[in-house]
Amino acid sequence: MKIFKILGLGALLSVTLLGKEIDVTAYNWGYEPKEIVLKKGEPVKLTLISKEGDHGLGSKDLGFDLEASPGKAQSVEITPNEVGEYTAKCTMPCGSGHKKMFLKIKVE
């Protein structure tokens, strides 16, 4: 019983201190996952990781622009303020599939 309480407290603390974290992995040419869901008013740390090549991930509406290359990830903390469906795109010309790189971001 005691252990469960401690675990519960630990989970609560990490959520309070760190907030939500989402990793997005870019490859030639797309993102994994293809869609993420955020909560309105809830801060989230978004990290872009690249598995191959240089890629970006940006959304003007949500106010971020990340760039990553293998071994060099980049993070940003955002707090979406409006419910809706957004599309983030690759912001770095990265080759023939560049224009097909989209990530759907749903804010609930």
Binding positions for Cu ion, rule: CB under 5 A: 90, 92, 94, 98
**Least distance (Å) between residue 67 CB and Cu ion:** 10
In order, the DSSP letters of the chain are -HHHHHHHHHHHHHHHHH-EEEEEEEETTEEESSEEEE-TT--EEEEEEESSS-EEEEETTTTEEEEEBTTB-EEEEE---S-EEEEEE--S--STTGGG-EEEEEE-
User: Rounded to an integer, what distance in angstroms lies between the CA atom of residue 106 and that of residue 86?
Assistant: 6
